[in-house]
């Protein structure tokens, strides 16, 4: 009769030991990005464990973002160097004021793609109206998009702007660009500056939560992967709100960096 190994005397559970072995093989390069990992049957035979134990070991790697399950095919290595999101540097006027996209600080030299960009006019939810200082029923221009790095979805964002910002100047180049898919060099913040509403202050609130089914599908998240929810408001020098942005980020794809003076 075969004896299924178990952990004793306070040692790590067997499934964690198996996961650690696979993790080490991924980091050493034995299994590269896109390679298929040993399946449950292989792990059961090699380690002499039950199927539930093999499944738990693979689940650890999936939950860590090191592997992804492909239905009907197997478990594959999914290595991705996290993006470093520098809270202050990415919103600096030196960046967008010189025609650069704030996303360039996140993706570094890896580049990024914008996918599914839609610009429309809506009556936003109450919390958006409140953030922009609008009255109930007021419209706002909504810009929705998804960002990909190395072909991987990492973030979706929906920003809102009040048409009052360009009232009487609807046909100006900056106002047209704000309402167009291509907002031009420096993005929305550069256009707001041209309209006389340059962002001078930003406030962000960040919380971690589990994704909705729609978010998990949009960002191609592995089971158990949380998202970072960012609510950012851009304000002028006299603290007038000019943009409200709701951002949903793949929690396994980012490192958040903030620098402070003592």
Task: Categorize the per-residue pLDDT at 107 as very low, low, confident or very high, splitting at 50, 70 and 90.
Answer: low
pLDDT the model gives residue 246: 97
Residue 87 burial (C-beta neighbours within 10 Å; 0-12, 13-18, 19+): middle
Cα dihedral 182, 184, 185, 186 in deg (nearest 10): -80
Q: For residue 56, give Cα distances in angstroms to 62, 109, 190.
A: 10, 36, 50
In total, the chain counts a number of residues equal to 262
Q: Is the pLDDT of residue 103 over 60?
A: yes
Q: For residue 75, give Cα distances in angstroms to 37, 72, 137, 226.
A: 6, 10, 49, 20
Tell me the per-residue pLDDT of 201-230, one tens digit each, with 9 for 90 and over: 999 999 999 999 999 999 988 777 899 999
DSSP state of 51: H
pLDDT the model gives residue 11: 66
Q: Is the pLDDT of residue 29 over 90?
A: no
- Residue whose C-alpha is closest to residue 221's, from 189, 182, 196, 253: 253
> What does the alpha-carbon distance between residue 188 and residue 178 come to, in Å, rounded to a whole number?
6
Q: Is the pLDDT of residue 38 over 60?
A: yes
Task: Categorize the per-residue pLDDT at 83 as very low, low, confident or very high, splitting at 50, 70 and 90.
Answer: confident
CA atoms within 13 A on the CB side of 18: 29
Residue with more model confidence, 237 or 8: 237
Query: What mean pLDDT do residues 10-37 have?
Result: 88
pLDDT the model gives residue 112: 86
Query: What mean pLDDT do residues 123-131 have?
Result: 96
Residue showing tokens 């990909």: 148
Task: Categorize the per-residue pLDDT at 252 as very low, low, confident or very high, splitting at 50, 70 and 90.
Answer: confident
pLDDT the model gives residue 10: 56
3-state secondary structure of 90: helix
Q: For residue 173, give Cα distances in angstroms to 101, 179, 199, 240.
A: 19, 10, 18, 22
> What does the alpha-carbon distance between residue 230 and residue 116 come to, in Å, rounded to a whole number?
20
pLDDT the model gives residue 8: 52
pLDDT the model gives residue 209: 96
């Amino acid at each position: 009769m075969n004896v299924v190994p178990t952990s004793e005397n306070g040692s790590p559970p067997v499934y964690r030991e198996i996961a650690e072995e696979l993790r080490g093989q991924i980091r050493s390069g034995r299994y590269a990005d896109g390679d298929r990992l040993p399946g449950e049957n292989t792990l059961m035979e090699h380690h002499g464990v039950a199927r539930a134990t093999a499944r738990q070991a693979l689940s650890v790697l999936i939950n860590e973002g090191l592997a992804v399950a492909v239905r009907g095919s197997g478990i594959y290595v999914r290595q991705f160097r996290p993006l470093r999101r520098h809270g202050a540097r990415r919103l600096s006027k030196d960046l967008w004021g010189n025609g650069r996209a704030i996303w360039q600080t996140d993706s570094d030299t890896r580049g990024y793609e914008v996918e599914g960009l839609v610009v429309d006019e809506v009556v936003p939810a109450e919390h958006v109206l409140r953030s922009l200082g609008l009255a109930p029923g007021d419209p706002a221009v909504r810009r929705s998009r998804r960002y990909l790095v190395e072909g991987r979805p990492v973030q979706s964002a929906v920003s809102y702007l009040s048409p009052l910002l360009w009232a009487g100047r609807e046909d100006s180049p900056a106002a047209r660009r704000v309402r167009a898919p291509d907002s031009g060099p420096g993005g929305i913040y550069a256009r707001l500056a041209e309209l006389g509403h340059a962002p001078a202050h930003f406030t962000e609130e960040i919380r971690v939560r589990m994704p909705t089914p729609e978010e998990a599908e949009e960002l191609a998240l592995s089971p158990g992967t949380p998202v970072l929810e960012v609510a950012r408001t851009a304000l002028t020098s006299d603290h007038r709100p000019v943009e409200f942005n709701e951002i949903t980020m793949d929690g396994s794809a980012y490192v958040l960096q903030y620098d402070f003076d003592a």
